[in-house]
């Protein structure tokens, strides 16, 4: 049996399949997922599971280099933004227009994880990163400046 706390086989497989820069979207119950995109549907009933319940084990098992979310969240859903910033504290945060998430970014996602969340602007974009200390730990290898803070 798996030693980590993430028990969903599809979600574990998705995380293990992510390469540097790949995009995973963790979305609310109403997100329009393109029919051609790898979908992991965890939704059961309204707010089950909620975004934090799904994002917390992802954050524990996934290196997010960058996290994006709808610009509107800063004004209209501050509690969700605080949760995202807490869970992915080591990531770069880059808000983008909500319409861009629904169209352009949904089409670019490697995987979209649907929750039961009824959270306004509850669509979180996670860009896969690398374990910087592991990649730059060999003698003579020097991490570039943009990774230095993660050493």
Sign, CA dihedral 80-84-87-90, equals negative
Alpha helices in the chain (DSSP H): 9-17, 51-61, 73-76, 78-87, 98-100, 106-108, 132-135, 145-148
CA 62 to chain centre: 8
Q: Which are the contacts of 149, defined by CB distance < 8 A and separation ≥ 6?
A: none
Q: Is 20 a catalytic site residue?
A: yes
Catalytic residue, candidates 13, 20, 76, 98: 20
Active site positions, annotated: 20
């Amino acid at each position: 049996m798996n030693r980590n706390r993430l028990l969903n086989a599809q979600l574990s497989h998705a995380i293990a399949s992510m390469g540097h820069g790949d995009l995973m979207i963790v979305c609310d119950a109403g997100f329009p997922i393109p029919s051609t995109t790898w979908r992991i549907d965890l939704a059961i009933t309204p707010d089950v599971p909620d975004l934090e319940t799904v994002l917390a084990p992802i954050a524990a098992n996934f290196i997010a280099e960058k996290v994006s979310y709808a610009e509107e969240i800063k004004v209209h859903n501050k509690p969700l933004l605080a949760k995202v910033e807490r869970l992915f504290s080591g990531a770069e945060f880059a808000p983008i227009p909500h319409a861009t998430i629904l169209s352009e970014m949904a089409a670019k996602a490697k995987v979209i994880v649907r929750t039961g969340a009824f959270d306004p602007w509850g669509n979180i974009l996670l860009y896969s990163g690398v374990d910087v200390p592991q990649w730059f730990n060999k003698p003579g290898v020097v991490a570039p400046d943009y990774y230095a803070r993660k050493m």
